[in-house]
Amino acid sequence: MLKAVGSKKNLFELPFYTYISDIFENEEIQKLANFKHHIYTTRLQHSLNVAYYNYLICKFFRLNAVSAARAGLLHDMFYYDRKDYSKENGEKSHSARHPEIAVENAREHFYVDPLECDIIEKHMWPMAIRRVPKYKESYVIVFVDKYCAILEVIAPKYQKLKSKFKK
């Protein structure tokens, strides 16, 4: 069963999955499963979490939920351990640089429309202060990305504590 953190729904059974399946089932995206992200999860699971909650929020507000979901899945498409990133003199920090790398990788393997590019490139705003979001969907991912990161760190600790009290 494919789930997003904090959700009990099987994502395979939802319309959401039909919009992202071509990306999710691609071997390039599956490589993200090899990278830890936010301590307890993988970059692939994090990207899926962001895609799902992006989709739900954008759908609720009648924004472009499909592009938001697709961009959410692609927003961290980089293939290195962020802890190993070392910027050279004059280079950007990982927070500022990885959205550029992600959009380059996304364009190399998938069709990415201008809205999706903006969502991916601007998801680290305001940490990448010069990249101000152009669309409402781009602002949504800014908050969803941070929300998912918090859930991904807290949920495993909560489950561990919950199982401890059941014993």
- Read off the pLDDT of residues 21-44 as tens digits, 9 standing for 90 and up: 999 999 999 999 999 876 778 999
Long-range contacts of 77-83 (CB under 8 A, 24+ apart): 77/28, 77/29, 77/32, 77/47, 77/101, 77/102, 77/105, 77/106, 77/120, 78/102, 78/105, 79/31, 79/32, 79/35, 79/105, 80/35, 81/35, 81/36
**pLDDT digit string (tens) for 50-84?**
999 999 999 999 999 999 999 999 999 998 876 66
Report CA 69 to chain centroid distance, whole Å: 9
Give the pLDDT score at 142.
Answer: 96
Give the pLDDT score at 17.
Answer: 97
Give the pLDDT score at 154.
Answer: 87
> Quick one: what percent of the chain has pLDDT higher than 70?
83
Residue 32: CATH number of its domain = 1.10.3210
pTM: 0.88
23 compared with 6, residue with greater pLDDT: 23
**Taking a C-beta distance cutoff of 8 angstroms, is the pair 116, 67 a contact?**
yes
Give the pLDDT score at 137.
Answer: 98
Domain tally for the chain?
1
Cβ neighbors of 91 (< 8 A, separation 6 or more) are 97
What is the three-class DSSP state of 39? Answer: coil
Report yes or no on 10 lying in a domain.
no
Distance separating alpha carbons of residues 65 and 25, to the nearest angstrom: 19
Give the pLDDT score at 84.
Answer: 64
Q: Give the pLDDT mean for 92-101.
A: 79
For residue 123, what are the CA distances in angstroms to 110, 140, 142, 160? Answer: 19, 9, 5, 31
Give the confidence band of 165 by pLDDT, cuts at 50, 70, 90. low
Q: Give the pLDDT mean for 78-101.
A: 73
Domain membership of residue 105 as a residue range: 19-79+94-166
Question: Rounded mean pLDDT of the chain?
Answer: 88
Report yes or no on 14 lying in a domain.
no
**Taking a C-beta distance cutoff of 8 angstroms, is the pair 16, 69 a contact?**
yes
Report yes or no on 87 lying in a domain.
no
Report yes or no on 86 lying in a domain.
no
To 10 degrees, what angle do helices 15-24 and 65-74 make?
A: 40
Give the confidence band of 139 by pLDDT, cuts at 50, 70, 90. very high
167 compared with 153, residue with greater pLDDT: 153
Report yes or no on 89 lying in a domain.
no
Q: Is the pLDDT of residue 152 over 60?
A: yes
Report yes or no on 8 lying in a domain.
no
